[in-house]
Amino acid sequence: MNSSDRVKTALRRGRPDRVPVMEFVVDEKVARAALPDCRDVADCMDRLDMDCVGCGAYFAKVADNADGSFTDEWGVAYKSGTEAVSHPIRGPIKTLADARAFTPPDPDAPHRLGKLPELVERYAGRRAIIFHHRAAFMWSAYLMGIDRMLMNFLAEPELVEIVMDKVLRCNMAVVRRAIRAGAEVIVLGDDYASNIGPMMSPAVFDFFLLPRLKRMIDMIHEEGALCIKHSDGNLYSLLDRIVAAGADGLNPIEPMAGMDLKKTKALVGDRICLIGNIDCGQLLPFGVPEEVRQAVRQAIADAAGDGGFILSSSNSIHSSCRAENFVAMIRACREFGEYPIHL
């Protein structure tokens, strides 16, 4: 069984030959510390025998700003930092008139799929090809500002719906292109929750987010790909809704947000593949390889027995993660993850 088959089997809640191991984002510094002669992050993942390679859509920088930020094609300004993903600090939409006038980036721009065509050429048929993007929530929050958007769910719902529908149409077009270019699994990276729970009530989620999430997932399935729903935070009150939207996998089951892998498996593991949950907040940056090994063993014991589990970090392999712990996580998955599981 190759990596592509292994990932697809797990996402369909089956038992592959062994537990797959994947990451959607690996910081380049960590990748080069793990394998100093690697060509790039994808080469590092391939040579460590991880089960996927991937990338996201590319939205180019269009302006450098006087305050040191930069603006991208969405019109959102970001502050660069040490991580692969920059932090949004302001967006162009404040009023209903702004929302009506806004035009999203061209989903058909030649550069929009980023490194995907190259990854397909290099790894198709061997590694699962992952494309990470979003549905409607987070880009809308970037465009309006997260606080303003959350208030406008109640104060000015028409503004929110106009923005979310424009964002969703653009994102669906990008994702459709990605699947037709060879992406096998789409990761939708809209975060819905903090460490104490969702950022919105279940009623608001049901009205604004769930129908748009379902439209995206339905399209992904119609195009022949699988879908992983990523959201940090404590998702217990939204688990059934995410399953109802049709996602094939849920990531990252974040332990620092109180998400217990064994409990989550009992709640929804018969309906959705679980992907996670090795702690990247404390363990991977500050722990030692033997602690990582034991955490992997426990995760596999808690969630892998009947299939439908993929091992990964609890968010990403960010710049603070120790390379030796990253490698230890992968090796421990090999050590403990052969089916049938006997721990």
- The residue assigned the tokens 């940056």 is 285
* Mean pLDDT (whole number) for 81-94: 87
Q: Is the pLDDT of residue 158 over 80?
A: yes
Buried-state track 214-250, b at ≥16 Cβ within 10 A, e below 16: bbbbebbeebebbbbbbbbbbbbebbebbbebbbbbb
Residue 53 CB coordination number (10 Å)? 28
Contacts of 139 (CB under 8 A, 6+ apart): 74, 167, 171
Q: Is the pLDDT of residue 60 over 80?
A: yes
Instruction: Give me the residue spans of the domains in the chain.
Output: 18-49+266-343, 51-58+98-251
- What local confidence, expressed as pLDDT, does residue 81 receive? 77
Name the region of 196 (left: φ>0; alpha: ψ -120 to 50; beta: rest): alpha
pLDDT (tens digit, 9 = 90+) per residue, 317-341?
999 999 999 999 999 999 999 999 9
Measured in degrees and rounded to the nearest 5, phi and psi for residue 309 equal -140, 140
- The residue assigned the tokens 């939205």 is 59
* Mean pLDDT (whole number) for 108-117: 98
Range 51-58+98-251 classified under CATH 3.60.20.10? no
SS3 225: coil
Q: Is the pLDDT of residue 84 over 90?
A: no
Q: Is the pLDDT of residue 77 over 80?
A: yes
Question: Burial level of 73, CB count in 10 A (0-12/13-18/19+)?
Answer: middle
Contacts of 218 (CB under 8 A, 6+ apart): 246
* Mean pLDDT (whole number) for 251-259: 97
Share of the chain above pLDDT 70, in %: 100
DSSP state of 86: P
- What local confidence, expressed as pLDDT, does residue 337 receive? 98
pLDDT (tens digit, 9 = 90+) per residue, 189-219?
999 999 999 999 999 999 999 999 999 999 9
Helix/strand/coil percentages in the chain, nearest 5: 45, 15, 40
Residue 107 token pair: 């989903």
Q: Give yes or no for a contact between 63 and 53, defined as CB atoms under 8 angstroms apart.
A: no
- What local confidence, expressed as pLDDT, does residue 83 receive? 75
Name the nearest CA neighbour of 308 among 6, 3, 12: 12
- What local confidence, expressed as pLDDT, does residue 85 receive? 76
- The residue assigned the tokens 């722990």 is 287
